[in-house]
Amino acid sequence: MNDTSLRPVGNARESAYQILRDGIIHLRFKPGEALSDKQISEELHMSRTPVREALILLASANMVLLRPQVGTFVAPIDLKRMEMEQFARCAVEKEILRLCCEKPDADRAWRYEENLRAFAHYAEAENPDQRKLLELDNDFHRIAFVSVGREDNYAHMMAGLQHVERMRVLSNLGMVQRQTLEDHRAISEAVLAGDAERALALLDTHLNRYRENLDLLREKFPEYFAE
């Protein structure tokens, strides 16, 4: 855990939680890897109490496994939990997109345009920055929430995505991002045209594309999945 870009800020427990969550989601910590509260607290320059509390929070989301008298370990992706997270996300995003199609916003078009331009730039790089692409992907979906004054709902939704985000990061390894860009462009065009029916159908397809390569990922990275 030597990423110098991650520094504890604000509440110690929340800071430790966000840093550890980010490390698990972005695969710096692998399933089965031990997480020492003593080592983590030393690296983050904080006491062990907030680190332990952060690990308990992560355990409640099945991101880590707490084994008394043994240790704390990174958990594999829980497919059942992932499906629950994805179902909730789809329900929320569809409602937000429906509202977006009904409510005009003068800034919406340029926000979409800037996001698509940036995504295309990073996706076409020789060695794509996967973290930046995931950030831009999330920013695309955030636009609709911001556009209808529901940014807090976006933050709440994303905070509940644990296993879904790990799956997305795993899916992006060595993957061409052309399909994501095409999906985003089509969704934005439908929203800007006020075509709610088409926008919702496109969003549904887009959010469920992970199913297309789930079996391949489980075969290629078996250690990342729990039955």
Task: Identify the CA nearest to 193 among candidates 95, 89, 108, 119.
Answer: 108
Q: pTM of this prediction? A: 0.87
Both tokens of 82, joined, read 């992932």
- Measure the CA–CA gap between 35 and 1, rounded to whole angstroms: 10
Q: How confident is the model at residue 80 (pLDDT cuts 50, 70, 90)?
A: very high
How far CA 40 is from CA of 26, 32, 225, in Å, comes to 17, 16, 25
What's the CA dihedral at 192, 196, 199, 203 to 10 degrees?
130
Span 22-37, average pLDDT:
94
For the stretch 201-218, pLDDT in tens is: 999 999 988 888 888 888
- pLDDT(136) > 50: yes
